[in-house]
Structure 1
Amino acid sequence: MKLDLLLRNADIITMDERRPHATSLGIWQGRVVGLDEDLFGMDAVEVLDLHGATVTPGFIDAHCHTTWFGLGLAEVDVAAARGLDQLYALLEADMATGGAPDEEKTPDQQAGWLMATGFSQTQHGGQFPDIAVLDRITGNRPLFIRHNSGHMAVVNTAALRLAGAESPSFPDPDGGVIVRDATGRPTGLVQETAQQLIQQLILPYTLDGIEAALDRGTRYYASEGITSFTEAGIGGGWIGHSPVELAAYQRAMANGRLHARAQLMPVLDALHPLDGHGADPAGAAGLDLGMYSGFGNDFLSLGPAKVFLDGSLLGETAAVSEAYCSHGHTDNSGNTGYFQADPEALRNRIEAAYAAGWSIAAHAIGDRAVDLALDIITECAEKYAPRTVPNRIEHASITRPEQVARIAAAEIAVTPQASFFADGGDGMTASLGQERLGWAYRAASFLAAGVTVAGSSDRPVADGNVLRGMQAFVDRRTSTGNVFGNPDERLTPLQALAAYTTGAAAATGTSHLKGALTPGKLADFAVLSGSPLAVDDISGLKVLATSVGGTFTHLTPGLQLTDGRPKVLQHVPSDAAGIAP
C-alpha cells in the first residue's frame, strides 16, 4: 500500500494511553493507518519532515457560534475599545465612511443597519453606552451592538422604534427585559429574549451571507488548529440566523467553504410536532422526516437539540439559588436571575424532543438551572433510554458539590469554558462572592468524579484560541492575575489537551472517529511549534499546520520552534519515501 501522506521526525502526542508518543504517522484515504514501526518500508505520495515539531490530534471546540463569529468578522468590531469614548469613535468612523465595500457587507448592513460586535461592559468600567449619544451618532439609522455574552444587546432609539418597543408602556417579553431608566425610558439595553424584538427585523440572513460567514469563520479556525466544532444553536430563537441554516452548512460543505467538521445543534424553537404511526411516541417534536441527533456524515452532522434554561453570569440573568452579590447596571437587590420560560413548559418541550430521538444540550449556567437540567434529562433518559450522542449541560458554570455527583451518575457531559476567566473572571467573582466561588467553572473536580469535560470557547462570547484556552485551564488566571475560583480546579497540561481532544470527542459522541491519533481514526491533526506538555506557557505556542482528513486547511512554513532554531516544514520529494521513518 502507498500512503497518501507520511509525517516523520515529529513529536506526536497520540492521546492514546497504550501508545502515548510516536515519531511517524501514516495517512491513507483520510485516515490514520499506522505509527512508527507500522510504517516501515511503506512508500508515500508525499512525505512531510517536521524537524521535531509536535503533532497533536486536531482541536475540537465543543461549543461555539460559528455563523455569529463569521458574521462578526465583517461587522464593526468594538472588542478592543477601552472606555465608551473609544467605542463611540468606532461607530462614528463607520458612519462617516459607510463601512465595508458593498460587496463585503452582510445583508443586514446592506439594508441600512449599523451592526457592531464584541461589546462587554467589563471593558468600560461596568458602563453601558448612553442611548442619547448613540442616537446622536446614528440618527435614524438602526443600530444593533451584540454583547459578547450573546445574552443581551445594545440598540438605539431608531431600532426600538422600528420594533414598536420605544414606548415606556411596551411590555417585556416572556424570558426577557427591555431595560429602562427611572422614568421608564429604554436605555438601549435589551436582555435575553427581548433581543428578538430587534433581531426579527434583521433575520433571516441569506444563505449566501451565512455561507460566506462560515467560510470566513472556519478559515480562522484552521489557523488555530481547530478541525471540528459544535455549532451551539441554529435555525431559530435569538441564537439562530435562518430557518434554513442547515442548508447554508450543506452548501458551504459542497462548495469547499467549510474548513472544519461541524456538528450542529438545532435550537428547541426549530423543532415542531411530528405525526407518525399511532404506536410512535405521542407528542414527539423534531425536524421534518424525523431526523434526530447523529444524522449526517463524518463532516457534517446533527448534534443534540439546544435549549436555553437561563441567562448569563456577567449579565446576572443566570438562575442561581442565592442572590448575586453585586447589582451590576441596575438595582437588582435580591436578584437570583430567571429561567428563559416557565420550567414546566420547558420540561414538556424537552420531553417532546427527547421522545423523537433527540439528545439534549441544556444551557444551564446558574445552579438553579443545573437542577432543572438534571431533573429533566434524567427523567427523559429513564423514560426513553439513554442516547448515543450524549446529553450535555452547556457551561454548567455554578455547580454545588452534590450536583457534580448527579451529573456523573447521569453520564451527562459538561462544557465549562476556561476562556471566560481572563476577561470575565473578576466580574464573576464580584457577582458570586467568596462563599460559592469554589462552585464556579469546575474542571478538576468534574474529572475526578468521572464527568466528561469538553473543551470549548463559546466563541465569539469569549476568546476562541484553543492554546490560550488550554493555558487558562492550567492557570485559571484573570486579567488582574488572580486565580479564578478554587485553585484546586486547575488542570494539568495533559488534562487540558484532553479536554479539546478526547474529552470533546466523547462529549460529541465521536470518540470512534476522532480525539486521538490511532489507526482507523480520522487524520485530523495540528502541528505545533512545541509540546503543550513541556512548556511553561501553552498560549505562546504557534500552530504551524492543520489537517482535516489528511488535507491541509492551514500550512505556515518558516516559523520558529520553541528551541529558537529557525526550521521550515519541508515537503520531501516522493522518491525519498519508502525509507524507514
Structure 2
Amino acid sequence: MKKMILTLIAALACNFMGTGTAQALPTLLHNVKGYTFEDGELKQFNSILFEDSVILATGSQEELADLHSFSISIDGKGKTLLPGLIDAHGHILGLGLNLMRVNLRGIESEAETVKQVSEYANNNPDTRWVLGRGWNQVLWLNKEFPTKSSLDKVIADRPVWLSRIDGHAGWANSKALQLAGIDKNTPDPEGGKIIRDEQGQATGVLIDAAMSLVENKIPPLNKKERKTALKLAFDHLISLGITSVHDAGVDFETYKLMLELSGKNRIPLRVYAMLSGADPRLETMLKYGKVEHPFLKIQSVKLYTDGALGSRGAALLEPYSDEPDNKGLLLTSSDKLGRYLTLITKYGFQTNIHAIGDAANHMVLEELSKLKKESSSKVLRHRIEHAQVVVPEEIPMFAKLGVIASMQPTHATSDMNMAGDRLGEERLKGAYAWRTFLDNDVVIASGSDFPVEKANPFLGLHAAVTRQDSDNLPKEGWLPSQKLTVAEALKSFTIDAAFAGFWENAIGSLEEGKKADFILIDKDIFKISEDKIDDVQVLETWINGKRIHSTE
C-alpha cells in the first residue's frame, strides 16, 4: 500500500512540475491526535495525507515521512482530529428560522417567556406575525401549559405563534386564534387537540395536527427568507464541527431551493435530505428520482406516526401514568402507513418514520415486517426516527428486520425530568435504551433533532456517555445502565450515521479514497473526564480537503 501511494504521489508531483499546469499538491497534516474507525474498530494516527478532496493515507508521521517532499506540510500542533461529525436528524430550515426569530429555550417561567416575546415584538415592530420557538412548560414551577391571556396582555394587535421546544405543540394569543377561526365550537382535528378551559374555550395551546389551524394562516416564506435561513443554519452547523446533516423532512419549496443551491455549488456541507411525506407533491418529488450530488443526496422520505412525550402526544399502548384517560395521538394509521410504504418503496426510496411512543414503534415495526425483500429494511435501510419508548421485547426486531434506530442522545437528558412521570418505572426499561439497542446489534445513527435541541454534537456525545445534563446531573447519570462508551457514541455520530444515509463509502471515517472531511478540537475526548466532553470547542472544520471554519 505504501509503495502504491508513493508511486501515485510521485506521478502527481512529476505531472505538476513537468506540465506547468497549476495543480494542488497533496497536503500532509501531521502532529495530531487522530481518531477514526476502520472495519468498525477505533484506530489512532498522528498524520493524515490528502490530495484535493480525497484522503490518500493516515498513519504515523514516520510512515508518511517519505511523502513529505511531495506535499504541503501543516503542523497540527498536537490538536485532536476526528472525522467530520454527522447529525443524523435535524431540521435545517427550522434551525435557520430559529436563528431569525425569538428564542425561548431554557426560560424557567411563563412570565419570563412572555417578557422575552414582548421585547422581541417591540424590537421588531414591522413583523406581521410574532413567531418563536423553544418554550417548555416542564421547566416551569407549575409545569402547566401556558395560556393566551398572558400573551394578550402584552401583544393584542398582532398574532403571536410560539412553537413548543419539540415542535409538537404551539401557543397562540387571541389574535392568532381569531384569524384561525378557533372558538368554542371548533372541533379537534384528526390527530390533533385544542386544549380547552373548564368552559370549553380554547386556552391558546394546540397539539400536533391542531397546530395547522394557526400555521395555515401564517404568510408563507418567500425564496429570499428561505435562502437566508438555510445560510444561517449551514454556517452555524459548520462552526460546530458538523460536516454532514440529515435534514428530516423538506417540503417542495425547500426541495427546489436545495436543488438550485446544489447546482450552483452553494451548499457548503453534505446534506442528506428526507422528502416530507406530508407534502402534497410528494410523488412529484419521488418521480424526479434519487439525487446524488457531491453535497446533496436525496433518496428518503420522512413520515410521522405520533407526537412527542412532553406534550403527551406520543402514542402509548397503555395510558399516560400522569393522565390516565390519555394514550397520546396516532397521526398515521397502520393502513395509511402501509400505503405510504408501498408508494415510497416503489421508487426505491428509504423511509424514515418518526415514532416516539411504544404504540407507534410497535405499529411501524409491524408494517415494516410486511415488506417484500426488495423493499425491506435490509435493502432500503428504513429507519425509525427517535425510537424513544419501545417495548423491550421488541428491540431485537430492529436488528432482525434491519431497521436503523435514529436516536438523539440529548432527548434523554432533556426529557428525564418528566419521562418517569409520563411513563412510570416499568416502561422506562425500554425508554431511550441506547445500550440495549447496541447489545442487540441494532445500528444507531445519532443526531440532535435541532432546533428542538441545540445542534452542538458534543452535547450529544456527552449525554450518550454520561446520561447527564449540562450541569452533570444526576450524579451517576439517568438510567445509567444505558450509557455508551466514548467510542460507541462517536461511531454513532460518524460512520454509522453515514451508513444511515447511504454515504458510508465516502464519509464517516478517514480512510483511503474517502473525502477529507474532518475537524480539529481543543481536547482529546478519549483522554479527558467524560463529564467535560460537552465543553469541547471546535477549532477548525475541514470539508473536501479545505478548511472552511477556524477560530484562529
Instruction: Give the structure-1-normalised TM-score.
Output: 0.85
- Residue number in structure 2 paired with 1:27: 50
Deviations 1:178-223 (A, max 9, x none): 1111111111111111111111222532222111111111111111
Cα distance, 1:336–1:544 mapped onto 2, change above 3 Å? same
- Corresponding residue of 1:535: 528
Distance in structure 2 (CA, Å) of the matches to 1:195 and 1:341 = 16
In structure 2, distance between residues paired with 1:178 and 1:382: 42
| Map 1:324-343 → 2, pairs under 5 A | 324-327=320-323, 333-343=324-334
State the shift of 1:41 in Å: 2.3
The CA deviation at 1:43 is: 4.5
Aligned mates of 1:254, 1:508 — CA distance in 2: 20
Contact 2:270–2:295 (CA<8 Å) still a contact in 1?
yes
Match in the other structure for 2:303: 307
Q: Which residue of 1 aligns with 2:291?
A: 295
What are the within-5 Å matches in structure 2 for residues 387-406 of structure 1?
389-406=380-397
Q: Is residue 268–residue 295 contact of structure 2 (8 Å, CA) maintained in 1?
A: no
Distance between the aligned counterparts of 1:68 and 1:44, measured in 2? Answer: 45
Q: Does the C-alpha gap of structure 1 residues 12 and 159 become closer, same or farther in structure 2, counting only changes over 3 Å? A: same
Distance 1:115 1:469, change over 3 A: same
Q: Distance in 2 between matches of 1:345 and 1:22?
A: 50
2:268 to 243, 259, 282: 259
Residue identity opposite 1:261 in structure 2? R
- Alpha-carbon distance, 1:359 to partner: 1.3
- 1:444 pairs, out of 435, 438, 444, with 435
Distance 1:188 1:439 in 2: 33
Which residue is 1:282 aligned to?
none
* Alignment-mate amino acid for residue 516 of structure 2: A
- The verdict on how the C-alpha distance between 1:186 and 1:393 changes in structure 2, with shifts beyond 3 A counting, is same
Q: Which has the larger displacement, 56-65 or 528-537?
A: 528-537
1:222 is paired with a residue of what secondary structure? Answer: helix
Query: Is the contact between residue 76 and residue 91 of structure 1 (CA under 8 Å) also seen in structure 2?
Result: yes
Name 1:16's counterpart in structure 2: 38
Residue 500 of structure 1: aligned partner: 493
2:349 is aligned to: 358
Q: Is the 8 A contact 2:386 2:405 kept in 1?
A: yes
SS at match of 1:460: coil
Partner amino acid for 1:542?
A: Q
Cα distance in 2 for partners of 1:442, 1:60 equals: 21
Aligned partners of 1:552 and 1:389: how far apart in 2? 34
The answer (yes or no) to whether the contact 2:377–2:402 under 8 Å persists in 1 is: no
CA distance in 2, matches of 1:530, 1:40: 30
**Once the two structures are aligned, what percentage of the paired residues are identical?**
27
Distance in 2 separating the partners of 1:475 and 1:60? 20
SS of the aligned residue for 2:216 comes to: helix
CA shift digits 1:317-359 (9 cap, x unpaired): 11111221123xxxxx231112003332222223222223221
Q: Which residue of 1 aligns with 2:19?
A: none
Cα offsets for 1:274-297 (capped at 9, x unmatched): xxxxxxxxxxx73357244x5222
The unaligned stretches of length 5 or more in structure 1 are 103-108, 236-242, 273-284, 328-332, 558-581
For residue 462 of structure 2, what is the amino acid of its counterpart? Answer: Q
CA contact (8 A) 2:358 2:391 kept: yes
For residues 356 and 221 of structure 2, the distance between their equivalents in structure 1, rounded to whole angstroms, comes to 29
Distance 1:382 1:453, change over 3 A: same
Aligned residues: 521
Higher helix share: 2
1:248 aligns with 2:243: no
Query: Which residue does 2:279 correspond to in 1?
Result: 270
Tell me if the contact between 2:94 and 2:451 (Cα under 8 Å) persists in the aligned partners: yes
1:128-139 aligned at under 5 Å gives the runs 128-139=145-156
41-50 or 402-411, which deviates more: 41-50
TM, length-normalised to structure 2: 0.90
User: Which amino acid is the alignment partner of residue 127 of structure 1?
Assistant: E
- CA shift in 2, pair 1:169/1:527, >3 Å: same
What is the identity, as a one-letter code, of the residue corresponding to 1:153? Answer: G
1:298 offset after TM fit, Å? 2.8
Q: Distance in 2 between matches of 1:395 and 1:47?
A: 43
Question: Could you tell me which of 105, 116, 125 is aligned with 2:132?
Answer: 116
Give the letter for the 1:33 counterpart. Answer: L
Distance 1:85 1:49 in 2: 52
Question: What do the CA deviations read for 1:155-192 (whole angstroms, capped 9, x no partner)?
Answer: 11111111112x21111111111111111111111111
Supply the distance in 1 between the matched residues of 2:431 and 2:286 (Cα, whole angstroms): 41
SS of 1:380 mapped into structure 2? coil
Q: Which residue of 2 aligns with 1:319?
A: 315
Tell me the equivalent position of 2:18: none
Report what 1:554 is aligned to: 549
